[in-house]
């Protein structure tokens, strides 16, 4: 988390953030699945920029939320947590590499697009949606939520 914090606190904060992701996402559960997704918990994901310990917490949280999905299966339960690990790591790396406010926004955008690509793949193979249509419909909420999360959480913490 920040220098001087012990590993127990780091794990505890990551666990709380992961649990909050699950609660916020399930709060809007009917909208959290399908071609037009809106998972309120996505707004928390830019926290990986300042708190990389939350990267695996989001992957676990996504797995838990996806257990309730009508499309729950191997793709959604295995692929999407992996996609979140990759996207979270890329987000953290891009923010560090570019730096500053611009870096955090570009990193959040990258994370949103990685997640969108994963969700579009799942929707294409599970419900037969054309990939680009699925990508476009999911990208709208992902980009808005992650950029909003960056503005509200990352820039203020």
What is the torsional sign of CA 111, 71, 18, 149?
Answer: positive
Question: Contact at 8 Å (CB) between 152 and 43?
Answer: yes
pLDDT (0 to 100) of residue 120: 95
- Reduced to 3 states, what is the DSSP secondary structure of residue 130? coil
Q: Classify residue 1: in a domain, yes or no.
A: no
Place of tokens 């220098």: 3
Residue 95: which domain range?
7-154
- Reduced to 3 states, what is the DSSP secondary structure of residue 3? coil
Please report how the helices 7-27 and 54-66 are oriented relative to each other, as an axis angle in degrees rounded to 10: 30
- In degrees and rounded to multiples of 5, residue 19 shows phi and psi of -65, -40
Q: Classify residue 2: in a domain, yes or no.
A: no
The string of pLDDT tens digits covering residues 8-27 is: 988 999 999 999 999 999 99
How many domains does the chain divide into? 1
Q: Classify residue 126: in a domain, yes or no.
A: yes
* Region at 3 (left for phi over 0; alpha for psi -120 to 50; beta for the rest): beta
pLDDT (0 to 100) of residue 71: 76
Q: Classify residue 83: in a domain, yes or no.
A: yes
CATH number of 100's domain = 1.10.1760
* Distance from C-alpha of 104 to C-alpha of 116, rounded to nearest angstrom: 18
Q: Classify residue 20: in a domain, yes or no.
A: yes
* Residue 9 parent element (H or E): helix 7-27
The string of pLDDT tens digits covering residues 83-118 is: 999 999 999 999 999 999 999 999 999 999 999 999
Q: How confident is the model at residue 32 (pLDDT cuts 50, 70, 90)?
A: confident
The string of pLDDT tens digits covering residues 36-92 is: 888 999 999 999 999 999 999 999 999 999 998 887 788 889 999 999 999 999 999
């Amino acid at each position: 988390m920040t220098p001087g914090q012990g590993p127990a606190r780091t794990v505890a904060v990551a666990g709380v953030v992961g649990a909050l992701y699950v609660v916020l996402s399930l709060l809007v559960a009917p909208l959290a699945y399908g071609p037009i997704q809106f998972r309120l918990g996505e707004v928390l994901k830019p926290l990986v920029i300042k708190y990389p310990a939350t990267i695996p917490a989001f992957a676990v949280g996504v797995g838990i939320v996806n257990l309730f999905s009508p499309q729950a299966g191997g793709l959604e339960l295995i692929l999407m947590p992996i996609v979140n690990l990759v996207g979270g790591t890329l987000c953290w790396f891009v923010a560090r590499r570019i730096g500053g406010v611009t870096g955090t926004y570009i990193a959040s955008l990258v994370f949103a697009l990685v997640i969108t690509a994963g969700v579009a793949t799942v929707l294409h193979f599970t419900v037969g949606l054309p990939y680009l249509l699925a990508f476009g419909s999911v990208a709208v909420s992902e980009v808005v939520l992650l950029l909003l999360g960056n503005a509200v959480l990352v820039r203020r913490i």
